[in-house]
Amino acid sequence: MCVTCGCETPAQHGHEPGHAHDHDHDHDHDHDHDHEGAVPLTRGFGVLRPAPTRTVSVEQDLLAKNDRYAAANRERFARDGVLALNLVSSPGSGKTTLLVRTLEVLRGRRPVAVVEGDQQTRLDADRIAATGAPVVQLNTGKGCHLDAHQVGHALAELAAPAGGVLFIENVGNLVCPAAFDLGEAHKVVFLSVTEGDDKPLKYPDMFRAADLCLVTKSDLLPYVPFDAARAIANARCVNPALECLTLSVQSGEGFEAWIRWLEREIEARVPPVVARAAGGGRGIGA
């Protein structure tokens, strides 16, 4: 059993008291019912006939377990006054680069922490650690997304950035992470101008799940056939309420708007007690 959350993986499930596993297949008589077939047979009055199966209503959501962990994470963020953001995009959209720059800007202004999700390596965590921000790297191995359970474990290794931001950089993947709630306040989807402005229509789930879309690498716009206005229009086709910002870490264009968005969302989550402890509340060091 895991000490952090009391979880048990299926392999760790013990046999429940009173639950017999010893259904014995050795009979003291012969009968040749088929163990391979889908329909078991019983013998009645010398005729083999199908045994009745019984139907059991289950009605359980496939994501119910993840959602329970996500709810626990969300409760924890609310209690600590932490803005948790789930950063999602295809690989190479500039999530880590934007994150590094953002951490530099927030340094001394807001407490921060980072959970990095990648299939393999600590490369991103090393980049984050170089900024001085506390970071936990999660490697998903063959997994294509972070789930709320993994994030819960990562939280156990991080001091809560009360009155600040926890950035969760998801695995680069524009499909699967859309379905998995981590307990975040918002999913922030990145779309770089080198990807194509039709991506929101081709991968609508992610843009539907997000609250903010960052169109990144805008300094490259003169060199690529990417229409930022069309990209945003496409994103709003699948999610009319989506906020959109266009920015570049290299040129700095639009970056202030992103920081203002962060400050607004942080302020919305700081409980009064944290605000007082931090020295009066609004606009700390800003």
Partner 1 sequence: MHEMSLMESVREIVDEAARVNGAVRVTMVRLQIGALASVEPQALRFAFDVVMKGGPAETAVLEIDRVAGTAWCWDCSAAVALGAGEVACPACQGHRLQVTGGTEMRVHEIDLAPDQEMATCA
The residues that touch partner 1, with contacts defined as CB under 8 A, are 10, 16, 19, 23-25, 27, 29, 31, 33, 36-45, 51-66, 143-145, 147, 173, 175-176, 178-180, 201, 204-205, 208, 236-238, 240
List phi, psi (to 5°) of 167.
-95, 125
Q: Which is nearer to partner 1, 25 or 222 (CB)?
A: 25
For the CB of residue 183, give the shortest distance to partner 1 in the complex, in Å: 17
Q: Which residues contact 50 (CB under 8 A, 6 or more apart)?
A: 39, 40, 41, 42
Q: CA-to-CA distance for 174 and 255, rounded, in angstroms?
A: 23
For the CB of residue 84, give the shortest distance to partner 1 in the complex, in Å: 21
Q: Which is nearer to partner 1, 68 or 264 (CB)?
A: 68
Instruction: Kindly state the tokens that stand for 176.
Output: 């699967």
Q: Which is nearer to partner 1, 57 or 120 (CB)?
A: 57
Torsion of CA 111, 207, 205, 161, to 10 degrees: 0
For the CB of residue 145, give the shortest distance to partner 1 in the complex, in Å: 6
Q: Which is nearer to partner 1, 29 or 268 (CB)?
A: 29
Q: CA-to-CA distance for 269 and 125, rounded, in angstroms?
A: 26
| CA 256 to chain CA centroid, nearest Å | 25
For the CB of residue 35, give the shortest distance to partner 1 in the complex, in Å: 9
For the CB of residue 181, give the shortest distance to partner 1 in the complex, in Å: 12
Q: Which is nearer to partner 1, 6 or 280 (CB)?
A: 6
Q: Which is nearer to partner 1, 16 or 223 (CB)?
A: 16
Query: Residue 112 in 3-state DSSP?
Result: strand
DSSP for residue 252 = -
Q: Looking at 69-210, which runs of residues are DSSP E strands?
A: 83-88, 112-118, 135-139, 165-169, 186-192
For the CB of residue 144, give the shortest distance to partner 1 in the complex, in Å: 4
